[in-house]
Structure 1
């Protein structure tokens, strides 16, 4: 497809391209002439979402607000504002106003005018009730469904309101803009202000209810956690009281310290026993049996007093150990030890020694060591008893410690849960007191009419219709597979072209008058193109004289071409024979009324032979009917007759049947020197026609070329462009 062909198509339909947009413009003018003016009212709502002054207490200053979160919050607010229940509130308000106010926003609809006064009162009461309870109208209720029809008749229903309602965020600001367009400035302002008020009330109530529910839930949870913490603390206290536990850590440290002290005293006492016994044994070894007997007999009465004092000292020592070495027993112990020392000294003074050996010091030392040994032995026993008692106390503290630690752990968990809930409660309580508060900072006011768009609509209608026409023509051009120019015919058939003929205007052309003077101007271009075709035919014939003219389909113009060529050749003083070989449609025969018919001329018989005149232009007609050339005469006879015709005429033109007539056309082509085919412009080549084109290709050199007929193609304009 060439762009030039598209412009030719536009030129062809230029009248349509002018009339349709013009009609659209005129129609649009009358349609928009009576359109009412448009009034827009605008309001602003401050949300506090991105306003830093609204988050001084409930937001960490180091935390940046995520843009995605801000976008979601604004989207949520605008979605709430478009809820059907809020739009219904606006609808109810409009109906209440128009039913109760003497100056309604719109004229009452036909449905509303048909209501009686008491019915209007009932309708008004229902709308007020629905408005107060924030309830929708039910389509399943007959009365309420009729009210929905009233809303639609007044164009106060949700669909009509949302259509002219615009809700958006002002760029990256903290404000939500609400706009409404209508034919009444008071109506526009009323809708915007009512919607903003209902939205703020509904959102505030919803937020407060949610915050109240959250605070109450956290308060109840806080009481539960506080009670659990108190129960765990009370359980620990009762356990300590019941088991006499004050401070396990301090008690265990004190008992352990006492154990270590007694262990040290025990080690020291054991050392004293061993050392004193060793010293006593060493002294005893120094006495002979006679000396020991003498000493023991003299000191026996003093030993009884020493033993008594030792018993008292043992009892006091035991009390001193059991008291944990209390200092109040220290003075008594020192007093008894002093008394014991005096008794030992008295015993040593009464010693009667052997005059040969003086043993006074050894005896005194021995007695002192024995007393110290006995005291140390008794101390070890008392210390062991006390260590056993202390270890038992320490062991008894172990299960107490495990239980107390478990209780402390439970208290710690309960305390953390309580603090977490307390922090959440305080945070929620703080946010609920300073939560986002929507404020309508700019009230909608009746404004002047918007700039008229009537002229714009008229222009758009004209441009739209023009574009639609252009688009429609382009679609037709794009899907058009017909052949319009000689170049397309050559490209699609791959066969040569002799020329083309323009389309002759008018219907039912009379071939007898086509070349008259009155048609001379109309045929001027046709004649020029025909002369060109005649020249090309002469170049192809190269002295030969038999030319067959055919076509693929009937009605493509081969008969007109045959007649025109015959006339053209006669104009250059050539003797021309025009044979009407189309038995199915003998147009030439019916027009020319020939004197000789080919059924007679080519009949292979010695009777009734016909002779042709030798005038410049002769027509050999046919009587028509279901007959073929070779049925009239044999091939050899027909060939001899054509040889005879070559001697009489300069050019023999055969108008054959179309190729769709099969052998009726092909029999004529057997005797032609050259064959030309006529193809009508603006036709497609289908699969059946491709078979006939293949046949023409099989003629090879005998096929002279195509003649494209009835075309609007203009070679001069193409060269000029």
Structure 2
């Protein structure tokens, strides 16, 4: 529904849209009529950026963003103020300092009389221009002579803004070329500018790069010298420390100490094993001596003792071998040797009577021998433990020195790396200075254009018409969208929950009275005004039809707020009813605004009329009414004031006799005060048979309006409906 409404709204304003578009096309035609003819020249320059990186570009990891960034930087330099300024100097020297016949631009009379040009010292300006061109410097606005030169450049149209506005510098899509394009009124000027722009850019670029290269070489040379001194200092510090600590090779010394400790620990292990064997043999001899002292016979069990000792050693060594993961080859070899000894002892052992018996002297002799061996073994163990402790202390000293040497060596390594990097950069800068500076080359020389550039007048006119067409359309839609007033019947029905019984169009009531409009006294009006007045009459007849067929006679016209058109509508309806031979009584009950009484020049008798019911007669009513200019319509006015009907009307007032008056009058029309601000209409509802609400199409619903509408809905059948007043004819069908 909203889409249809907007489409109809656009159709109603179609002539505005069409006329606006036509005016835009006409304006574009006149604006482009005197547009000067422009000649375009183009030059191309090869940058060499992609050729230089041709091998690298075959790599899948090429950074295209870096390539685009280089082109952007190059284009920015070409169109920079300094390069354009160099071009400006050259153009001015060409036109002012050269042959006047070869000048691209010849000043007109008004330009020659310009004080900035007329009062300037031409020779001095040309010398300054040549100086700035040779030294590649920009003009300063703080120096009077340079400011004068800037003004002269503007007069010729050779200033930065003028040249930059007609210049286009851009990379040709995904190529190695940059296109330089310029538009001017002179074909040779356009060609000269694009060619000279390339030359001035190359001159400036190579000058800047040469200066930068010299600065880089000097900077890197100083840094290399500084890093060389730092490296020599750190190398000397490392050498001095090694000499003071007598450390030629810390790693070799510490490795030798570790090997000695391992050898001594292996020997210590063997000595302790041998000590265990000797101690077991000594314990066996002591047991035999005890038996001999007790008078017992002692057999030679030395072989048995040796076998037991060997088995014990084999068991202990097997446990150690398993704990080391069965990977210690030395333990494995020792176990095999002990097992061979055990097998030999078992084979030598024979049980022969007489030979196995020994005496106490032999036992004492063996005991002494074992004690001597045990003492020697203890001395060996103590000596080995002392040597191992000494070597471990020496190894700890080596670790501390090694940490110091490592720290100094790391500083030397870092200094060496920094020195090597800076030396590489210095060599690169030196090579770069001797190598070609760039790969720039002008691949296409700019040529003067034979024909001027197309003015594209038709395109401009078409775009202007289309643009204005869409802008006007959007403006109309936007205004319709933000307009929340009840401007059309369709919007009223969606916004107000009341039956719309009629819509009344807006007509000119300032120049013509209601009677003149309804009596068709409009022969002097234009055709448009006649149409509006005819529409007003037809719409009013529809309202009259609804009133006549409502089955009611007494009506109250009210509204939610003031200035909705109740007074005019009441008069128009009364006159329209009289045209159909109906007798109508109008009662002004709008005490807050008695416009109806004033406009109809009625007698203000409503507040003072009071008569007992038994004395009521139609003749007494005839005494207080005022006759309307049209036959069949009578009016009763009120004085008006800040009061309500219940506060001002006396006992036995006129409104109590409305049912009796309905027998004499066909219709009785009352006008009430607005519901939002006053309670008059709410009090008058009890005296009437039907209520008609009047809404202006210009009104915007507020919260108070919604509350008043809810009151009208609560009236039920007594509320006949609503009238949408002051509707523009364009919106009647929307």
**TM-score > 0.5 by shorter chain:** yes
Shift, 1:6, TM fit:
3.2
2:126 to 112, 124, 127: 124
CA offsets, 1:68-88, max 9 Å, x none? 332222222222212221111
**Shift of residue 500, structure 1, vs aligned partner:** 1.8
* Residue of structure 1 equivalent to 2:556: 548
Match of 2:264 in 1: none
For residue 28 of structure 1, what is the aligned residue in structure 2? 28
Counterpart-to-counterpart distance in 2, 1:550 and 1:64: 82
1:476 paired residue number: 479
Report SS of the residue matched to 2:469.
helix
**Distance of 2:674 and 2:32 partners within structure 1:** 59
For residues 570 and 30 of structure 1, do their structure 2 counterparts lie closer, same or farther at Cα, with a shift above 3 Å needed?
A: closer
Instruction: Flag the 1:535–1:715 CA change in 2: closer, same or farther, 3 A.
Output: farther
**The residue matched to 1:179 in structure 2 has which SS?**
strand
**1:653 is the counterpart of 2:656:** no
Change (3 A) 1:593 1:205: closer
The answer as to 2:684 corresponding to 1:674 is no
Q: Quote the residue 1:685 is aligned against.
A: 701
How far 1:482 moved relative to its partner? 0.5
Q: 1:706 aligns with which of 722, 731, 734?
A: 722
Match status 1:516 vs 2:531: no
1:457 and 2:477 matched: no
Separation (CA, whole Å) in 2 of partners of 1:418 and 1:559: 103
Q: CA deviation at 1:470?
A: 2.5
Counterparts of 1:691 and 1:418 in 2: how far apart (Å)? 90
**Structure 2 CA distance, aligned partners of 1:116 and 1:600?**
93
SS of the residue aligned with 2:501? Answer: strand
Matches of 1:178 and 1:656, distance apart in 2: 80
2:549 paired with 1:533:
no
The question of 1:624 aligning with 2:639 is answered yes
Partner of 2:153: 151
Q: Deviations over 1:559-610 (max 9, x none)?
A: 3332343344445554433323345655555566668954565566979982
Q: RMSD of the alignment, in Å?
A: 4.5
Counterpart residue number, 1:286: none
1:547/1:652 contact within 8 Å kept: yes
Once the two structures are superposed, the pairs formed by residues 338-353 of structure 1 within 5 Å of their partners are: none
- Per-residue deviation, 1:203: 1.9
Per the TM alignment, residue 192 of structure 1 is displaced from its structure 2 partner at its CA by 1.4
**Aligned partner of residue 670 in structure 1, secondary structure:** helix
Alpha-carbon contact 1:601-1:611 (below 8 Å) kept: no
User: How many Å separate the matches in 2 of 1:653 and 1:60?
Assistant: 94
Map 1:417-496 → 2, pairs under 5 A: 431=432, 432-447=434-449, 448-496=451-499
1:234-249 correspondence runs (5 A): none
Q: Which protein has the larger Cα radius of gyration, Structure 1 or Structure 2?
A: 1
1:126 CA displacement: 0.6
Aligned residues: 542
Show the 5 A alignment for 1:246-285: none
Partner Cα distance (1:552, 1:218) in 2 = 89
**Which residue does the alignment assign to 1:610?**
620
Look up the match of 2:50.
50
Please give the residue correspondences for 1:116-515 in structure 2 after superposition, counting only pairs within 5 Å. 119-212=121-214, 214=216, 431=432, 432-447=434-449, 448-505=451-508, 507-515=510-518
Unaligned regions of 5+ residues in structure 1, if any? 234-247, 249-408
Answering whether residue 556 of structure 2 is matched by residue 559 of structure 1, we say no
In structure 2, do the counterparts of structure 1 residues 95 and 667 end up closer, same or farther at CA, with 3 Å as the change threshold? Answer: same
Change (3 A) 1:701 1:222: closer
Q: Who is 1:73 aligned against?
A: 70
Shift of 1:167: 1.1
Q: Secondary structure at the match of 1:653?
A: strand
- Give the one of 85, 88, 103 matched to 1:88: 85
Deviation per residue, 1:650-679 (Å, 9 max, x gap): 322223344466244444333111111111
Contact 2:167 2:180 in 1 (8 A): yes
Once the two structures are TM-superposed, the CA of residue 645 in structure 1 deviates from its matched residue by 1.0
Structure 1 residues 645, 227: closer, same or farther in 2, change over 3 A?
closer
Per-residue deviation, 1:535: 4.2
Residue among 631, 634, 640 paired with 2:650 = 634
Question: In the superposition, relative to structure 1, how do residues 702 and 169 fare at CA in structure 2: closer, same or farther (>3 Å)?
Answer: same
Q: Distance in 2 between matches of 1:60 and 1:588?
A: 93
- Whether the aligned pair in 1 keeps the contact of 2:95 and 2:105 (CA below 8 Å) is yes
Secondary structure in 1 matching 2:125: helix
2:85, 2:138 within 8 Å by CA — same for their partners in 1? yes
Paired residues of 1:39 and 1:185 also in contact (CA < 8 A):
yes
- CA drift of 1:141 comes to 1.2
Normalising by the residue count of structure 2, what TM-score does the alignment of the two structures yield?
0.63
> In structure 2, the residue corresponding to 1:50 is in which secondary structure?
helix
Judging changes above 3 Å, is the alpha-carbon distance between structure 1 residues 440 and 635 closer, same or farther for their aligned structure 2 residues?
farther
